[in-house]
Amino acid sequence: MRADKLGSAARRALSDAGEGVGLTPFKVLIQVKGEPDEDQRRQLADAGARVGMVAGDVLTATVAPGDLGGLTEVDCVAYVELSEPLHPETGSQPQK
């Protein structure tokens, strides 16, 4: 695992997953070197990532907690971070 390729939230989630917490798949943002081509997408899939949307050199993906560390070993991956909401969900609508 290349910890230098993980954002702080991804490192924290990986640590929690190692303790058996949060066994649901992670939604992540992956920055790759250049715009992803078919070979890079195959490498990501082989590492366990299910790629979603692509915008330039950043893509969304879903990855099992056990595959998060291995994703950093893929050569085309520059950075991985959890996809987190900007504001926590509170279960209620904001007051107007």
Per-residue pLDDT of the chain (96 residues; tens, 9 = 90+): 888 888 888 888 777 766 444 578 889 999 999 888 999 999 999 999 999 999 999 999 999 988 888 899 999 999 999 987 655 656 555 555
- Distance between CA atoms of residues 14 and 61, nearest Å: 16
Residue 69 lies in a domain: yes
Residue 95 lies in a domain: no
Residue 9 lies in a domain: yes
Residue 72 lies in a domain: yes
Structure tokens at 78: 């520059």
Number of domains forming the structure of the chain: 1
Give CA 78 to chain center in angstroms: 12
In which region does residue 21 sit, left (phi positive, over 0), alpha (psi from -120 to 50) or beta (all else)? beta
70: domain CATH number? 3.30.70.2980
Q: What is the pTM of this model?
A: 0.77
Find the domain containing 25 and state its range.
3-82
